[in-house]
Amino acid sequence: MDTSELLQRFGIAVALGLLIGIERGWKERARAAGARVAGIRTYTLIALLGAMWAALSPDVGAGPLVVGALVVGGGLTWFHWRSQEAQGKVSVTGVVVGLIAYALGAYTLLGDRLAAIAIGVAVVVLLVSREYLHGLLRKITWPEMRSAVILLAMTFLALPVLPDKTVDPWGALNPHDVWLMTVLMAAISYAGYIVVRLETGSSALIHGAMAGSLVSSTMVTLVNARLAAKARTNNTAAATAVALGWAVSLARMTVVVAVVNLALLPKLAAPMAAAVAVLALAAYLLHRAGGAGAAAKVEFGNPFDLPPLLGAGALLAAIMMAVKLLNDAFGQSGVLPLAAISGFTDVDPITISVARMTALDAKVAVQAILLAAGANMITKIGISFVIGGMRFGLPLAGAGAGAILAAGGVALAL
């Protein structure tokens, strides 16, 4: 390795140690100078020490690198033990983080730099999420935890043994892919479900609607429409939340498409971005016109419960089969009516089915996805009017229609 690359790797090691040290120092910023076991400088120097021994290991062997890890771990353990004994606290996080900083410094010199950076950022994100994760543990219920564990077990045990090839006469259904896509839908929904469960306070209306739209923007629309119907004096806040939820739903569709078939993203991103921008602008204008409102409690079923999960998988398989048969019978344009019809109820199955069908022309696939999104938007506009009334539904109808026109116009232009 030449000097330039060596200095770059040392710089990355120092930066990662500094990043970890800043997070650790910020957590203990209220303590007096000298009362902290390790802070910005210590974690930075630990990462640098690991990098130095790693750089020397080709000449002196791996022994000093291992001894260094033992010394760092032992020293941090002793100092943390003394500090926690005085404070009456018990925590091993500081010791583990110090060893990770040392290992990251070494890996930056010996391994892949991008991987080291990604791991370092992931460590800091995990550290700064302490309060959020503790709050999650306090609020999550045993059935929710059990469902997640069962799904993970089934996924990692089932995926390796499921046939990774089509098993039907029409070449439409791949059990491995169907299960993997079902898990993808459930995982995204579960993230929104957990956020909704944790959301409290004055921001619950907005944040709950946005997180809830990761699960079901239709349900978010329904619940907020009911809230608006009850609070007739101020339904603008609920409309603001719904408009933002619709924007999140479109962004969610785009992410799913990118995960399933990244090649479609260049053609889909611009129309979806135009629609999201229109909805975000509408939400901003509604927020300016209205004020704060009562939080709407959105109740979702656990996306990781096995009955709805298996039902979602069956629906996905059915849509995949329909897409393949229509494509064979009527050509690629035969998929478009199915996309429009199925989009009135649920966009995920048709979105995934179309995105994963590589034989489908990219232009037709994007048209089908946009048709499904537009049909689903019409359903939600109808719910807004029927449940929430004219004052609630009218601005949302304008926002939804604007989003549909923006997406369609950009798609036609491109």
Residue ending a domain, among 84, 108, 128, is 128
318-340: average pLDDT: 85
The pLDDT of residue 251 is above 80: yes
Q: Which residue has the tokens 């979702």?
A: 300
Verify that 123 and 147 share a domain, yes or no: no
pLDDT at 170 over 70: yes
Query: Are residue 123 and residue 146 in the same domain, yes or no?
Result: no
Between CA 309 and CA 219 the distance in angstroms is 17
Average pLDDT estimate for 162-190: 81
Does residue 135 fall inside a structural domain? no
Q: Per-residue pLDDT for 257 more than 90?
A: yes
The answer to the question of residue 77 being in a domain is yes
Are 159 and 23 in the same domain? no
- Nearest 10 degrees: CA dihedral of 150, 154, 157, 158? 180
**Structural domain count of the chain:** 2
Q: Is residue 248 one of the residues assigned to a domain? A: yes
Provide, rounded to the nearest whole percent, the portion of the chain with pLDDT above 70. 86
The answer to whether residues 146 and 114 belong to one domain is no
14 — pLDDT class (breaks 50, 70, 90): very high
Q: Does residue 404 carry a pLDDT above 80?
A: yes
User: Between these two residues, 163 and 192, which has the higher pLDDT value?
Assistant: 163
Inter-CA distances, 6 with 54, 56, 279, 347, Å: 11, 12, 49, 50
Which helix (H) or strand (E) is 100 found in, with range? helix 93-110
- Exposed, middle or buried by CB within 10 Å (0-12, 13-18, 19+), for 281? middle
What is the rounded average pLDDT of the residues 182-190? 78
Quickly tell me which residue has 């021994």 as its tokens. Answer: 53
In a domain, 133, yes or no: no
Range of the domain at 407: 140-413
Among 83, 101, 128, residue at a domain's last position: 128
Among the candidates 128, 159, 183, a domain finishes at 128
The answer to whether residues 186 and 151 touch, using CB atoms and an 8 Å cutoff, is yes
| 228 and 111 belong to one structural domain | no
Tokens matching residue 264: 């479609």
Distance (Å, rounded) from C-alpha 102 to C-alpha 97?
Answer: 9
Of 134-148, 266-280, 316-330, minimum mean pLDDT range = 134-148
Whether 17 shows a pLDDT value over 60: the answer reads: yes
The residues, ordered by sequence, that sit 6+ positions from 16 with a Cβ below 8 Å of its Cβ are 47, 101, 104, 105, 108, 116, 117, 120
pLDDT score, position 202: 47
For residue 211, give the nearest of 141, 142, 297 by alpha carbon: 297
- pLDDT for 30-75, tens place per residue? 555 555 556 788 888 989 999 998 988 888 888 888 888 888 888 8
pLDDT, tens digit (0-9, with 9 covering 90-100), for 213-233: 888 888 888 888 887 787 654
Q: Angle at the Cα of 117 (from 116 to 123), degrees rounded to 5?
A: 90
